[in-house]
């Protein structure tokens, strides 16, 4: 064990962890909106809209995140037409490609989580709102969404932690996140165990924080 290397690589890995957190937070925010959008589509009575939303979540939940990143980063660059459009400004950057892949992936899982949360809302609550003369729109925004968010907190916390671990795949498309920097240090020192122990420790610490924040929120917004 090379303790000196572990201590020396710690600050470098810590600054790389900031990039990991950036990737995570940006893709989670975009993914939450995508998820909410598709969850609402899933509740739609129209069979085509319903099927479309189901197909989206099925494809993104049925294929590995690594494949999705590779298709977006390596695959989309192959289409000549795309290179000439404005989209290419975004798609040539590995950073944005990774964020698009993560957002679409987490959006699919989030839509599934939110959908089941919407479906577990007791109809009595909505009927109570209706009998008070509250409009359907207000019922949806002020009653259904808050309850659904509370209902889905535990599952969403899991999703955040899974996503955080998923961001390590960004290193495969040359992004210098926590795993990317760890790989780089290893390629110069040839000491994978020490560096990965430190990197793993940082991941573990982040999981610990996220887990506790979610637990705190669950307690704060509990029903009783």
| Binding region for other proteins (CB under 8 A) | 58-59, 61-68, 70-71, 74-79, 169, 172
Find the shortest distance in angstroms from Cβ 28 to other proteins.
19
Find the shortest distance in angstroms from Cβ 2 to other proteins.
23
Nearer of residues 44 and 63 to other proteins, judged by Cβ: 63
Dist CA 85 CA 221 (whole Å): 46
Q: Which of 169, 160, 195 has its CA nearest to residue 11?
A: 195
Close Cβ partners of 179 (under 8 Å, ≥ 6 residues apart): 20, 168, 170, 171, 199
Find the shortest distance in angstroms from Cβ 47 to other proteins.
20
How many angstroms from the chain centroid is the CA of residue 224? 29
Nearer of residues 78 and 224 to other proteins, judged by Cβ: 78
Nearer of residues 61 and 130 to other proteins, judged by Cβ: 61
Nearer of residues 40 and 113 to other proteins, judged by Cβ: 113
Find the shortest distance in angstroms from Cβ 204 to other proteins.
18
Dist CA 160 CA 97 (whole Å): 19
Nearer of residues 58 and 208 to other proteins, judged by Cβ: 58
**H helices within 92-191, ranges in order?**
94-120, 123-131, 136-138, 145-166, 178-189
Q: Which of 154, 71, 77 has its CA nearest to residue 105?
A: 71
Contact 171, 217 (CB under 8 A): no
Dist CA 85 CA 87 (whole Å): 5
Find the shortest distance in angstroms from Cβ 172 to other proteins.
7
φ/ψ of residue 8, rounded to 5: -65, -35
Nearer of residues 10 and 54 to other proteins, judged by Cβ: 54
Find the shortest distance in angstroms from Cβ 78 to other proteins.
5
């Amino acid at each position: 064990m090379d303790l000196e290397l572990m201590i020396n690589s710690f600050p470098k890995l810590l600054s790389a962890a900031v990039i990991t957190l950036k990737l995570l937070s940006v893709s989670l925010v975009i993914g939450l909106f995508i998820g909410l959008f598709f969850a609402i589509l899933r509740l739609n009575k129209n069979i085509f809209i319903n099927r479309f939303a189901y197909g989206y979540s099925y494809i993104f939940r049925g294929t590995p995140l690594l494949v999705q990143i590779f298709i977006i980063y390596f695959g989309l660059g192959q289409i000549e037409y795309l290179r000439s459009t404005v989209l290419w400004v975004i798609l040539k950057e590995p950073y944005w490609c990774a964020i698009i892949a993560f957002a679409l992936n987490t959006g699919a899982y989030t839509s599934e989580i939110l959908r089941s949360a919407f479906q577990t809302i007791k109809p009595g609550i909505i009927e109570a709102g209706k009998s008070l003369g509250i409009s359907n729109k207000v019922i949806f925004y002020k009653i259904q969404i808050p309850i659904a968010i509370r209902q889905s907190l535990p599952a969403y916390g899991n999703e955040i932690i899974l996503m955080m671990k998923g961001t390590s795949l960004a290193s495969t498309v040359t992004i210098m996140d926590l795993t990317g920097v760890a790989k780089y240090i290893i390629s110069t020192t040839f000491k994978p165990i020490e560096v990965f122990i430190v990197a793993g420790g940082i991941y573990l610490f982040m999981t610990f924080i996220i887990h506790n924040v979610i637990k705190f929120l669950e307690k704060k917004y509990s029903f009783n």
